[in-house]
Amino acid sequence: MNVSLHRRLSAWLGMSILVVGLVAAALAFAIEYNGANTLQDTQLKQIAAVLALNPLPTTAMSFEPRSLGDREAHLVIKRLGAADADAGTGLALAEPLRPGLQTIQQGEVLWRAIVSEDVLGQRFAVAQHMAQRNDFALEVAALALLPLVLSIPVLLLIVNRVLTRAFAPMSAMTAEVDGLDGSKLKPLDERPVPLEALPLVQAINRMMRRLATLLDQQRRLVSDAAHELRTPVAALIVQADNVEHVNLSPEATTRMAALRQGLTRMSALIDQLLNFARVQGAAPAVSQRLDLNQLVRAAIEDALPMAQAKNVDLGCPRIDEAAIQGDPLHARVLVRNAVDNAVRYTPSGGSVDVSVVAEGGEVFLVVEDTGPGIAREDLKRVFEPFVRVLGSEQSGSGLGLAIARTAAQALGGTIELGERNDRHSGLRFTYRQMQA
C-alpha cells in the first residue's frame, strides 16, 4: 500500500492541532472558571473587611441589580441575630454560623457567604447567589476559550496551505513526467524541487539522460539500417530488371513478377521505416504554417495510381481552406499515410473520401473508406508498429498508423479511428488539430 505523505502529514498535524487545542481549551476553561470564583471570593472578603471598619446598621441591606445596573453585583449584607429573619432579602440565616467563607443552602437556592464581625463585635454576613457567581465564572471562562477555539480552524487552514504549497513541486513534476514521451525526453527542472526530494529528481534525470541516449541510438539504428538496406535492395531491383532483359520462358516471367512484387514491397517497407525514424524525431522538427489542402492534394496525387489500379474511387467531398502549424515532414507523412492506408485497405470497386473541415478554430482531416474497418477491440492495438489485424489480406508495411500517430503527436494533434457514421460501412480516420 502506498501512503500519501501529504495526506499522512495532514491527518497527523490536523489531529494534533485538534487534540492539543481541545485539551488546552478545557484546561483554560477550568483555570479561568476557578479563577473567577476565587476572584469573587476575594471580593466578598474585601467587602466584608471594608464593612467591618464601621458599626453596621441594624437593618439588612440588599443591593438590587437595578441600583447598580449589574446583575452580578447583587449582594446581601445582613446582621446575624437580628429580629428580622428575612427583611425581604430572601436570605434567612440561622445561627450558629462559623466565621469565614462558606456555602449555604437555603431551600432551592445556594448562597456563597462570608461571616465576619464589625468593630463592635457584631457578627454579620455578606452573601451572593451561587447561581449568579457561576454564571459570571462561566462567562469569563467562555470568553477565555474563544481565542483558542477560533485559532484551531485557522491553524488547520494554515497547515493545509503549507502542506499543499510544499507538495506543489511534486505534483507539478508528476504532471511533467506524465507528459513526456519517447520523442521528447528532457530532464526535469531541478530548481523548484525541495532539498529532500532533490536526490530522487537528480537520479530520475540521470536515468532520463541515459534513456534519451539509448532511444536516440535506437532511432538512429533504425534509420541507418533502412538507409543501408537501400543499396542491396537497389541492386536486387536492377538485377531483376536485368534478368527480364533476357528472353525468359512464360513461366519464368510469372515467377519474376512475383519476385518483383516482393522487391517493391521491400523497398516500400524500407521507406516506411525511414519515415518512422524521421517522425520519431531523428531530425529536429521545424514549425511553419502549412496549407492542409496542398498536403491533401499531394497525398491524393501519390495515391491515385494505386487507387486507379485497384479501381477505387478516391476523391474529396469537402475541402475547406485550412492551415495548420507544424513540421512539414510530419504533416506530409501523416496525411500521406492516412490516404494511402485507406486506399490500400479498400477493396476493388470501393471508394475513399478525403475531407478537410475547418470548424470552431479546429481543422479536421477526415478519411473514410469502404474497407473492412477495424474491430473495436483492435482499435488501440493497430497504432503499435508491425501490428496487423487478423483477416486483412492486404500487405501494408504495418507501420502506417504508428507513423501517423507519432507524426500527430509531434504536430500536437490527435487521431481518432472509428466506424463511419453515415450509411456506408468502413473505417473513419479523423485527425484534428488547432487551426493556424
Partner 1 sequence: MLGHAVVQALRDASYAVDWLRDGQSAAAALARHGFQCILLDLGLPLRDGLDVLRELRARDDSTPVLVITARDAVDQRIEGLDRGADDYLVKPFAVGELLARMRALGRRRAGAAAPVLSNGVLALDPASKAVTAAGRRHALSNREFALLRELLVRPGAVLSRAELEDRIYGWGEEVESNVIEFIIHSLRKKLGPESIRNVRGLGWMVERAPQAESAQ
For partner 1, the binding residues (CB under 8 A) are 227-228, 230-239, 241-242, 245, 263, 267, 270, 274, 283, 297, 300-301, 304-305, 308, 313-319
Burial class (CB in 10 A: 0-12, 13-18, 19+), 51: middle
Q: Which is nearer to partner 1, 164 or 239 (CB)?
A: 239
Least distance in Å: CB of 383 to partner 1? 26
* CB nearer to partner 1: pick between 89 and 346: 346
Beta carbon of residue 184, minimum distance to partner 1 (angstroms, whole number):
21
First to last CA, the chain: 47
- Closer residue to partner 1 (CB): 135 or 321: 321
Q: Where are the alpha helices (DSSP H) in 180-249?
A: 198-245
Q: Select 110 or 256, whichever has its Cβ closest to partner 1.
A: 256
Residue 354 CB, nearest approach to partner 1 (Å) = 8
CB atoms within 10 A of CB 198: 11
State which residue, 98 or 245, has the beta carbon closest to partner 1.
245
Pick 147 or 232: Cβ nearer partner 1: 232
Cell of 340: 494511402
Smaller CB separation from partner 1, 201 or 354: 354
Of 59, 43, 177, whose CA–CA distance to 112 is shortest? 43
**Residue 218 C-beta: closest distance to partner 1, Å:** 19
Nearest one of 147, 131, 31 to 90, comparing CA atoms:
131
The enclosing H or E element of 174 equals: helix 130-179
Q: Which amino acid is at 362?
A: E
Distance between CA atoms of residues 212 and 209, nearest Å: 5
Name the minimum Å distance from CB 365 to partner 1.
14
| 317-to-263, 320, 351, 357, 368 alpha-carbon distances in Å | 35, 10, 11, 10, 11
User: How far apart are CB 246 and partner 1 at their closest, in Å?
Assistant: 9
- Distance between CA atoms of 141 and 29, rounded to whole angstroms? 5
CA-to-CA distance for 97 and 92, rounded, in angstroms? Answer: 12
Q: DSSP letter at 125?
A: E
CB of 317 to partner 1, least distance (A): 6
